[in-house]
Amino acid sequence: MLDKRIALTGGIATGKTTVANRFRELGAIILDADEYSRQAVEPGTLSHTALRDRIGPLFFNPDGTLRRPELRREIIRQPALRKRINATLHPYIMGAMRAEWERQKKLHPQAVIVFDIPLLFEGGFDKDFDIVILVYSTPEVQVQRLIQRDKLSPSEAERTLSMQLPIESKRAHSDYIIENSGEIERMLRQVDEVWDTILKQADDKV
């Protein structure tokens, strides 16, 4: 059971980072796709070169670093740009995460390793995993959190949300649902319950 691949995902502003941190506190090794994404755009890497070739130099500073605010605004205006970026970077990111999974399994054979991947379903990566854990919030709560957290207008928040698959469609294809539309204490209790279930299933297989 511990050899099974476990993915944690959610929609934007659902609280997935808080859930990942809780799993880490409980003992899981977290492979964070966002961290690998940052590494993938570091100047000098093959993925950085591939991305610059794909989207052009406009979104890069003279030192080669990404002009993130400009790129973020353009992605909202031009969804096709996001697809080009993802198609370019995802193979590098997923390849690095799989290599690290293999490394960690050799170092810690009994560890529970969780892939934290925001765009799991959007990238079609859910098929690569045995267990999918979804952090869920209602779309209304997601919009309100985006407005408060990122200082977006309601229309900008809704447009940002529309760039991801609807959260309801992700529910139907997930093995565990962690509800996070209300109190954080209730959400953390659900994380603990999922963790206990995963460990129990692992013990049953020993």
* 19 and 61 together in one domain: no
If 0-12 CB within 10 Å is exposed, 13-18 middle and 19+ buried, where does residue 153 land? exposed
* 164 and 86 together in one domain: no
- Boundary-marking domain end, from 110, 133, 156: 110
Query: Going residue by residue through the chain (206 aa), what tens digit of pLDDT does each one get?
Result: 467 899 999 999 999 999 999 999 999 999 999 999 999 999 999 999 999 999 999 999 999 999 999 998 898 888 899 999 999 999 999 999 999 999 999 999 999 999 999 999 999 999 999 999 999 999 999 999 999 999 989 998 998 899 899 999 999 999 999 999 989 999 999 999 999 999 988 766 55
If 0-12 CB within 10 Å is exposed, 13-18 middle and 19+ buried, where does residue 204 land? exposed
> Which structural domain, as residue segments, surrounds residue 154?
1-28+112-206
- Boundary-marking domain end, from 71, 87, 110: 110
Reduced to 3 states (helix: H, G, I; strand: E, B; else coil), residue 181 is coil
- Boundary-marking domain end, from 89, 110, 131: 110
CATH number of the domain at 55, please: 3.40.50.300
149 contacts: CB under 8 Å, gap ≥ 6: 13
Number of domains in the chain: 2
Record the pTM. 0.91
* 103 and 205 together in one domain: no
Query: What are the tokens at 101?
Result: 């999974």
